[in-house]
Amino acid sequence: MHSPIYGLLLSGGESRRMGEPKELLQWHGETELSRLSSLLTQVCDQTFLSQREPSQASPSPLSLPVITDTSIGSGPLAGIYAAHQQHPDAHWLILSCDLPLIDLDHLKQLRTAFQTTKGAAYSTAFESRFDKKSEPLCAIYNKDDLKGIPSFFEDESNHHCARCFFKSLENNTLITPQLPDAIDNCNTPGDRHDIELRLKNGRGPLEIKLEHFAQLFAITQVTEQPWTTYSRTTHGVWEELRMRYKIKSLSSKILRPVVNDELVSWSHEIHANDTVSFLPPFAGG
C-alpha cells in the first residue's frame, strides 16, 4: 500500500540567537509560520505543527493539528520522532522555520527526488552550499528510518544531532537545490538583514575577492582568492568563509571587516568586484 507523505513544520526552537520567535518573522508579506504552513499543505497529504508544548507558539492560521515533542530525546529529532509515533505509516517531510528562501518549487523538487531517486524512497535532503553536507531540517524521511531514532538517542556522543542522524542512515540521498541559497538559514539578526537585502535587490552570485591576513592566512593558506558569494553583507560573506573552512578559533566578535581598504560594519552591503578581508587581532596592540 502506498505510504502518504505528511508534512511537519518545526516551531519548537527557542530562537535565542535571533532574539524573537523566528516563526513569527515577516517574510514575503506574512509570518514564516503562515507561509511555510501554506507551502507544506500544497505538497503533503497532511500537515502538522511541531511544538515543545501545546501552548508554546502562536496558533497556525491554517489551524494545523499540533504534535507535541516526545519525552524521548531533545531538539528537532524529539519532534520528528513524536510525529512518527503518532503516524508510523507515513513518510515525513520536515521543515524548520528558519528557511525564508525556501519555496514551493524546491519542496516539489524534494518530493520528486524522494519518490524517484535510485528507484526507492530513500530519506532525502538538500545539500548545503556551505559545507556540502545535509540540511536535515528540510528533508523527507522514510518511515522505516525513523524507527531508529530511540537507539540513536542512546548514544550521548552524538548530542541528538539531526545532521548526524541523517548521516547515519544506511540509505540516504543528497540533492542540490535549484537555487544554491534556497536553504540558507536565518538564525541571527545579521542573517536576517543579509537575506532582506537579497530579496530587495536581487539574488544570485556575486564575484568578489577575499584577502587574508595573520590567522586567516594560516587557515586558508592563501593571501587572496576569488570568491563567489550569494550573500549581500560582510556578515554573510564571513559566514560563508567560516563554514567553508570550519573556522572555530575566530568569530565576528573579535574580527573587523574591511571592504576596499576601508573598515566597515558587519551590516555593510557587498557589491560585485569588492575586495573583502576580515582583520583578526594582532599581537602587540
For 195-208, the pLDDT digits (tens) are 999 999 999 999 99
- Residue among 134, 126, 139 at smallest CA distance from 163: 134
pLDDT per position as a tens digit, 156-177:
777 789 999 999 998 899 999 9
> What is the phi/psi pair of residue 142, to 5°?
-65, 140
Selected residue with higher pLDDT from 257 and 66? 257
Which residues share a beta bridge with 5? 91
Output the CATH code of domain 5-175. Answer: 3.90.550.10
Among 158-167, 205-214, 233-242, the range scoring the smallest mean pLDDT is 158-167
What integer pLDDT is reported at residue 108 of this predicted model?
97
What integer pLDDT is reported at residue 117 of this predicted model?
55
The 3 state secondary structure assigned to the chain is CCCCEEEEEECCCCCCCCCCCHHHCEECCEEHHHHHHHHHHHHCCEEEEEECCCCCCCCCCCCCCEEECCCCCCCHHHHHHHHHHHCCCCEEEEEECCCCCCCHHHHHHHHHHHHHHHHCCCEEEEECCCCCCEEEEEEEECHHHHCCHHHHHCCHHHCCCHHHHHHHCCCEEEECCCCCCCCCCCCCHHHHHHHHHHHHHCCCCEEEEEECCHHHHHHHCCCEEEEEECCCEHHHHHHHHHHHCCCCCCCCCCCEEEECCEECCCCCECCCCCEEEEECCCCCC
Q: Is the pLDDT of residue 71 over 70?
A: no
What integer pLDDT is reported at residue 121 of this predicted model?
82
Residue 135 half-sphere exposure, CB side, CA atoms within 13 Å?
Answer: 25
% the chain with pLDDT above 70: 89
The model's confidence at residue 10, banded by pLDDT at 50, 70 and 90, is: very high
In terms of Cβ atoms closer than 10 Å to its own Cβ (0-12, 13-18, 19+), residue 80 is buried
CA distances in angstroms from 136 to 93, 101, 161, listed in the order given: 10, 16, 9
pLDDT per position as a tens digit, 134-156:
999 999 999 999 999 998 988 87
Selected residue with higher pLDDT from 52 and 112? 112
Q: Is the pLDDT of residue 285 over 50?
A: no
Q: Across residues 257-273, what is the average pLDDT? A: 97
> What is the phi/psi pair of residue 227, to 5°?
-145, 130
Q: Identify whether the C-beta of residue 172 lies closer than 8 Å to the C-beta of residue 166.
A: yes
CA atoms of 152 and 190, how far apart (whole Å): 34
What integer pLDDT is reported at residue 171 of this predicted model?
87
- CATH class of the domain whose range is 189-279: alpha beta
Q: Is the pLDDT of residue 53 over 70?
A: no
What integer pLDDT is reported at residue 64 of this predicted model?
87
What integer pLDDT is reported at residue 264 of this predicted model?
98
Q: In the chain, what are the domain boundaries?
A: 5-175, 189-279
Question: What does pLDDT average to over the chain?
Answer: 89
Q: Is the pLDDT of residue 182 over 90?
A: yes
What integer pLDDT is reported at residue 92 of this predicted model?
97
Q: Is the pLDDT of residue 56 over 60?
A: no
Q: Across residues 214-223, what is the average pLDDT? A: 95
Distance from chain centroid for Cα 132: 12
pLDDT per position as a tens digit, 25-37:
888 889 999 999 9
